[in-house]
């Protein structure tokens, strides 16, 4: 009941906290979303679900999907993964090309777009049907076998993927992307278009709160060590060049997406997902971050 009371309090405090940002209009299909939507869900390791607001509203998870592809690829590549992508904060925008030339096509971390493209490229190499296999993986994590891609959003992103295509070609020029850049962008835009609600998203991150195991089924997704490292990467790099401020304010491993979703994990206890589509200048949900800051403050728990 403590979690329910806290998230209902946060929802009441922030339900009118709007007008301080903009939806992701550079992707036309995303510009149609109601900017005032606001949902929160807490999912605990013992199976309890607590929600407030528009928790049933569906949105595309966008860059949050990078955690799923990283988990799938890392269990095949192990430490070899860090030969193709770094694990340091970038300090630059999520779609920046600035560091790539200086660092010879090795992206700074897996959560900036260049790094995510490298990970998706390896997903395409490792899996026979990467789009289908990714969807199967996320369905298992969320417990919803009906999850799917939002085809309208995927097509809209593919049609406006000029910068991501530039990133893919630039990294390929250094030999760090193996597949055709156009096919890579198609797969990448589909992964970003996975449509979820806050309950499904929170449940899908519980494996990172439980040492790599899906609590509802007991299925092991990754080892304890990998789970720890994924959480560490989310803490240091999960919100792009706002990651330091997020760690300071919220104190949890987290990942954001330009669809307005933000998800965070308290290891050993729970996952929490917030959806609020208006974004700040860093491309993160400003109300989502505010809600998570209040959650750890009112609960009195963080990783620190």
CA angle 36, 54, 195 (to 5 degrees): 95
- Single out the residue of 140, 253, 254, 259 nearest to residue 194, CA to CA: 259
Structure tokens at 88: 């340091």
Helix (H, G, I), strand (E, B) or coil at 41: strand
Q: Are 40 and 233 in contact (CB under 8 A)?
A: no
Q: Which residues are catalytic?
A: 63, 66, 188, 240, 258
Instruction: Give the burial string for 111-145 (b: 16+ CB within 10 Å, else e).
Output: bbbbbbbbbbbbbbeebeebbeebbebbbbbbbbe
Residue recorded with tokens 């990078």: 66
Q: Are 252 and 266 in contact (CB under 8 A)?
A: yes
Structure tokens at 216: 């509802």
CA angle 241, 294, 10 (to 5 degrees): 125
- Single out the residue of 81, 86, 87 nearest to residue 69, CA to CA: 81
Beta strands in 46-151, from DSSP E residues, in sequence order: 49-53, 59-60, 148-149
């Amino acid at each position: 009941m403590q979690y329910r009371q806290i998230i209902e309090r946060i929802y009441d405090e922030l339900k009118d906290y709007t007008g301080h940002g903009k939806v992701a209009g550079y992707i036309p299909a995303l510009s149609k979303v109601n900017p005032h939507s606001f949902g929160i869900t807490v999912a605990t390791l013992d199976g309890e679900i607590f929600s407030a607001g528009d928790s049933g509203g569906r949105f595309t998870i966008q860059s949050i999907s990078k955690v799923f592809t990283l988990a799938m690829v890392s269990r095949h590549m192990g430490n070899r993964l860090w030969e193709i992508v770094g694990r340091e904060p970038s300090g630059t925008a999520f779609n920046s090309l600035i560091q790539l030339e200086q660092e010879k096509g090795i992206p700074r971390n897996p959560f900036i777009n260049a790094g995510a493209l490298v990970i998706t490229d390896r997903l395409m190499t490792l899996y026979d049907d990467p789009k289908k296999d990714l969807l199967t993986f996320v369905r298992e994590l969320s417990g919803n076998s009906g999850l799917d891609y939002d085809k309208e959003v995927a097509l809209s992103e593919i049609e406006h993927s000029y910068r991501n295509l530039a990133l893919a070609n630039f990294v390929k020029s250094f030999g760090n992307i193996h597949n055709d850049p156009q096919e890579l962008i198609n797969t990448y835009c589909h992964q970003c278009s996975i449509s979820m609600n806050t309950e499904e998203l929170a449940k899908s991150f519980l494996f990172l709160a439980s040492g790599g195991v899906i609590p509802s089924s007991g299925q092991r997704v990754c080892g304890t060590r990998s789970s720890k490292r994924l959480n560490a990467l989310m803490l240091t790099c999960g919100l792009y060049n706002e990651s330091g401020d997020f760690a300071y304010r919220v104190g949890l491993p987290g990942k954001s997406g330009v669809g307005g979703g933000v998800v965070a994990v308290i290891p050993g206890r729970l996952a929490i997902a917030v959806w609020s589509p208006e974004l700040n200048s860093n491309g993160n949900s400003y109300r989502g971050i505010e809600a998570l800051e209040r959650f750890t403050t009112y609960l009195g728990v963080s990783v620190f």
